[in-house]
Amino acid sequence: MNIFFIEDEAILKKLINNLIDDGHKVRHCDNFSDAMYWLDQIAFRQRVDIILLDLTMPATGLPDEYIFEAQKDGLCGWFFYDKVIKEDYPDLLDKIILYTGFGKELVESGYVSQEEYDKLRIVHKLEKESTDNVLAALKSFEEEKYSKK
């Protein structure tokens, strides 16, 4: 499986990379401009199986028109998903796993409707358990992908 991992925290990147089986290829980006560079490469987009996106990254590399609004609440990854991926890379929507330390706060704050929240693959970071949660989501995603074939 080819995994594209958009995460700014070095410790989480290292932890997840160490836990993912050697059979998987992982590319990391720690900012949105690098992520957009790779997503703009059609061959890369066609090869990627799954994209892990941290919802609470800094605004580094976000398009200028989103920086102020994204920084206001600190959910820059959500803005990247909602404004950039949905509009510019809709072919990738079924490959996204979002993860965050927030849960229902996304619905309560109005960032996402309850209906959309229920449809999204959102993994919650819970300190020690965060890597287990992400790995469980990867396994579930892989099983779902191959059951459709």
Q: What is the mean pLDDT of residues 72-94?
A: 85
Q: What is the pLDDT of residues 15-49, one digit of tens each?
A: 667 666 667 788 889 999 999 999 999 999 899 99
Q: pTM, whole model, 2 decimals?
A: 0.75
Query: For residue 29, what are its two tokens?
Result: 């980006």
Torsion, Cα 134 135 138 139, to 10 degrees, reads -140
CATH code of the domain covering residue 104:
3.40.50.2300
What is the percent of the chain with per-residue pLDDT over 70, rounded to a whole number?
71
Band of pLDDT at residue 5, cut at 50, 70 and 90? confident
How many structural domains compose the chain? Answer: 1
Q: What is the pLDDT of residue 88?
A: 92
Instruction: Tell me which residue range forms the domain holding 79.
Output: 2-147
Q: What is the pLDDT of residue 22?
A: 65
Q: What is the pLDDT of residue 148?
A: 64
